[in-house]
Structure 1
């Protein structure tokens, strides 16, 4: 018999962009260092630095 196994996925940490946000400011506030902005870009497949209000970004672990 085949046992049913459900994979449990850890909930993704996300952030919704607000007016005035930059990748640097989000990284500084949520990750503790603005210099980690490149991790946010990579994780979200962003080619540029432009963000849109309401855009939902995945954030890496602290």
Structure 2
């Protein structure tokens, strides 16, 4: 899955669409898949392999 946003300067986040925040919501949703859909007696694993969000200072990534 790839999430894209609209990058920009960290000082004006209201003009961006931050994909890190969206990714956080997806991660929380994924973590509830097991707890809300399977019996506590059953075992299951959900893994998230890699998250990349850029490395520039004071910049919200695209």
TM-score by length of 1: 0.25
- Give the structure, 1 or 2, with the largest relative contact order (CA under 8 Å, sep 6 or more): 2
TM-score by length of 2: 0.25
